[in-house]
Every structure is written in C-alpha cells, then in structure tokens.
Amino acid sequence: MKVAVLAGGRSSEHDVSLASAQAVSEGLRAGGHEVLWVEIDRDGHWSSQGARLSLTPGEGLLGADVVFPVLHGPFGEDGVTQGLLETLDVPYVGAGVTASAVCMDKVLFKNLMANAAVPQVPYAGVPDERWRRAPAQVLAELEALGLPVFVKPAHLGSSVGIVKVSQPDAIGSALDQALAHDELAIVEAMANGLEVECGVLGRSDAERIADAAPAFASEPGEILLPSGSEWYDYQAKYTEGGMELLVPARISPTARERVRQLAVDTFVHVGCEGLARVDFFVDGEQVLVNELNTMPGFTPTSVYAKLLGASGVSYPGLVERLCRLGLERHEARRAYRY
C-alpha cells in the first residue's frame, strides 16, 4: 500500500504526534509499504517533501491508497481532519467524524456514557462563559463532588492542563488554568483503585462473519507510577521511566472480563472504528470507565501498542491491519447513495 502519514498538527500535542507518526512510518515500511510523510505545522500548513500542499475536494491526497492521521488533540483528533479527509474522498485510519468529535469532548463523552448507563466517576462540565459569569454558583455546585478532584480542559489529551485539587480554595485557580487551554473544563471526583487501560482493535467484515463481536479487546494493562507520583501526568506519560505498564493487570478474572467487555461496549456506544484505547479505574470488582482515546500515542513503547503486542498483534501487523480496515470502510460506504 501507499500510505500518507499525517504528523504534527496545531494542538499542544504536536511533538507527541511527530514521535507517534515516525513510529507508524517505520512500522509500515517494515511491512513493505510505501510511506508518504505529510507534516502539519503549528499554524496548520500541510507540506510534503518540503513543499506546501494544495488540496482539492474529491482528488485524494498525493495518490495515497489510505491515510493514517497520527494526530493528537484538537484540529486532528476531534473530527476536523477526518471531515477534510472525507471531503478529499480518501480512505483513512480510525474513527470517523462523529466518533472523533464525541470522544474529544470529555463532557459530551461522559454525558453519552451516562445515558448508556456505563459506570464512571462523578463529574461536572464548566463552560468558560459560565465560570466568568457565575463563579460562586459554579463553586457551590462543585462541592457535591467532594475532594480531591481533577480539573481538566475538556478537549485536550496527554494530561495537558490537568490540576489535582485537594483544597477548596484552589479550585478557582485550577479552573482558570484549564480554561486558558479550552472553552470548556471538566471536574472529576477522584477515583480509588488501579489505573487500567485496554486496547480495542476493530474487526474486518470477514472476521465478523466468524465472530459477531464488533471489535477485539486486548489484555488489560495496569499503569504503575514511580514512587512519589500522585497521578498519571504528562511527565509520567512521556518521560523515560515515568511509568511502567504491567500486563496483565493485577485484577481479578471477573474484573478483567468486565474491563474487556466495557472497552468494546464503550467503543460501540460512541461509534468508534479501527482502534481506541479505553481507560478505567478498577477497585476490587468495581470497574469505572474514565475516557476513550481514538488515536492514542503510537510509538512501539506506547501503551496501546504494548497492549496489542501482549495480545499477539505485532506492531507492523497492527499498523497494516488498521490501514486495511480503513480501506474496507471506505469501500463499504461507497455502496450507499446518501
């Protein structure tokens, strides 16, 4: 296959995307595929081989068979780029426009999970406009969550802008910090138990004939933080030695199966395709969904690749399979008249 790999992007996760996309490119080349590197700078300009790209609706992207958008955060993982790729009429890897947008908005995602009766931690969304207009009322409402809480920008990943708050008088400044990144913040009650993550990989049409399950869930892995780390922050995620992934997670067989089933259920509820990483809190037999990431970190040492590797899927095999799933989806949708 000829695969256009999209890297970089306008979000604060630009550098993480570059590292992920480089690894995806190496994995594709190891599988015998041709890679077309497309880099998006921090201002949103697209270029390939040093030349700016001009894109025309309906004419694809550089003659690629499929596009692998290895983009994290806003303007790449939130449906914006997926919509552009749909306009270009080119197959692409991963979630479509709707699922990408839903999962990038932590408040909307949790609202949908609540509607589907998926177990999760208590939370509240705080729009920037409301915080400026009625701060006292917002703080009074947040008291129901107790302490400590985590305050986050609603549309960012990689733990950017997150603050753990243990004192009531610190919530305001934490909201100010989160809302400096985003127009919407989310405040979540602290969950007890282990942080557990599970990779989900879509099944092809042929596989679903033999097994009706819409996706495969990996062996769950447990996030182990170094001594002194209170939570899974940016440094823990992207600094060498900042965390350790333990596979399999130290949870009961019942909790393990609950994690795997909820991972697939969550994937289906939001209409995901191709891949996802679903994050959980597990306390004994209680399993709570935290969030779903439609394009997780993608280096061979990233959690998603490690989880799939521990479940029997090699890195080159993983990236090739995702491209073929994107091709299959594109072909299937062309059969509809809309």
Listed residue (194, 201, 192, 198) closest to 259, CA to CA? 198
- Those residues with Cβ within 8 angstroms of residue 83's Cβ, 6 or more apart along the chain or in another chain: 97
In a domain, 113, yes or no: no
CATH number at 257 reads: 3.30.470.20
- Pairwise CA distance, residues 337 & 333, whole Å: 9
Q: Which of these is catalytic: 12, 13, 304, 315?
A: 13
In a domain, 112, yes or no: no
Same structural domain for residues 182 and 222? no
Kindly report, residue by residue over 155-180, the tens digit of the pLDDT: 886 466 799 999 999 999 999 999 99
Above 60 in pLDDT, residue 231?
no
Mean pLDDT across the chain = 93
Q: Is 238 a catalytic residue?
A: yes
For residues 309-336, average pLDDT? 96
For residues 303-316, average pLDDT? 96
Return left, alpha or beta for 270; rule: phi > 0 is left, psi -120 to 50 is alpha, else beta. Answer: alpha
Same structural domain for residues 185 and 196? no
In a domain, 117, yes or no: no
Q: Which of these is catalytic: 11, 25, 158, 302?
A: 158
Residue at token pair 């033999």 = 210
Above 60 in pLDDT, residue 92?
yes
Identify the pLDDT of residue 288. Answer: 98
Alpha helices in the chain (DSSP H): 14-30, 80-88, 97-104, 106-115, 128-133, 135-142, 171-181, 205-210, 234-238, 253-269, 303-310, 315-333
For residues 38-62, average pLDDT? 97
Q: Which of these is catalytic: 9, 297, 309, 326?
A: 297
Contacts 24+ apart (CB under 8 A), 12-15: 12/73, 12/156, 12/158, 12/160, 12/181, 13/72, 13/73, 13/156, 13/157, 13/158, 13/160, 14/42
CATH number at 142 reads: 3.30.1490.20
Q: Which of these is catalytic: 105, 222, 291, 320?
A: 291
Q: How confident is the model at residue 56 (pLDDT cuts 50, 70, 90)?
A: very high
Q: Is 244 a catalytic residue?
A: no
Listed residue (239, 221, 236, 180) closest to 308, CA to CA? 221
Q: Which of these is catalytic: 65, 188, 279, 320?
A: 279
Kindly report, residue by residue over 111-150, the tens digit of the pLDDT: 999 999 999 999 999 999 999 999 999 999 999 999 999 9
Identify the pLDDT of residue 12. Answer: 86
Domain end position, chosen among 148, 163, 189: 189
Same structural domain for residues 180 and 251? no
Q: Distance of alpha carbon 46 from its chain centroid, rounded? A: 22
Q: How confident is the model at residue 243 (pLDDT cuts 50, 70, 90)?
A: confident
pTM: 0.92
Q: Is 277 a catalytic residue?
A: yes
Q: Which of these is catalytic: 10, 256, 258, 277?
A: 277
- Please answer whether residues 153 and 181 qualify as being in contact, where contact means their C-beta atoms are separated by less than 8 angstroms: yes
Q: Which of these is catalytic: 17, 293, 302, 311?
A: 293
Identify the pLDDT of residue 306. Answer: 96
Same structural domain for residues 208 and 151? no
Q: Is 17 a catalytic residue?
A: no
Q: Which of these is catalytic: 123, 238, 304, 315?
A: 238
Same structural domain for residues 221 and 271? yes
Say whether 172 sits in a helix, a strand or coil: helix
Number of compact structural domains in the chain: 3
In a domain, 65, yes or no: yes
Above 70 in pLDDT, residue 241?
no
Range(s) of the domain holding residue 139 = 122-189
Domain end position, chosen among 135, 170, 189: 189
Listing DSSP states for 90-134 in one string gives --BSS--HHHHHHHH-HHHHHHHHHHTT--B--EEEEEHHHHHH-
The DSSP element (H or E) to which 79 belongs, if any, is none
Domain end position, chosen among 166, 189, 212: 189
In a domain, 338, yes or no: no
In a domain, 205, yes or no: yes
Above 90 in pLDDT, residue 300?
no
- Pairwise CA distance, residues 182 & 150, whole Å: 15
**By percentage, how much of the chain surpasses pLDDT 70?**
94
Same structural domain for residues 198 and 228? yes
Range with lowest mean pLDDT among 94-98, 126-130, 298-302: 298-302
Same structural domain for residues 239 and 301? yes
Same structural domain for residues 174 and 203? no
Residue at token pair 């890195």 = 315
Identify the pLDDT of residue 218. Answer: 98
How many residues in the chain? Answer: 338
Kindly report, residue by residue over 207-222, the tens digit of the pLDDT: 887 777 889 999 999 9
In a domain, 111, yes or no: no
Identify the pLDDT of residue 240. Answer: 57
Above 70 in pLDDT, residue 198?
yes
Identify the pLDDT of residue 159. Answer: 62
Range with lowest mean pLDDT among 67-71, 91-95, 233-237: 233-237
Q: Is 115 a catalytic residue?
A: no
Same structural domain for residues 85 and 214? no
Q: Is 258 a catalytic residue?
A: no
Above 80 in pLDDT, residue 235?
no
CATH number at 66 reads: 3.40.50.20
Above 90 in pLDDT, residue 237?
no
Q: Is 47 a catalytic residue?
A: no
Kindly report, residue by residue over 275-299, the tens digit of the pLDDT: 999 999 999 999 999 999 999 999 8
In a domain, 14, yes or no: yes
Same structural domain for residues 126 and 242? no
Q: Is 230 a catalytic residue?
A: no
**By percentage, how much of the chain surpasses pLDDT 90?**
85
Same structural domain for residues 261 and 244? yes
Same structural domain for residues 31 and 48? yes
- Those residues with Cβ within 8 angstroms of residue 288's Cβ, 6 or more apart along the chain or in another chain: 119, 120, 121, 191, 193, 280, 281, 282
Q: Is beta strand 2-8 parallel, antiparallel or unpaired with respect to 34-40?
A: parallel
For residues 263-268, average pLDDT? 97
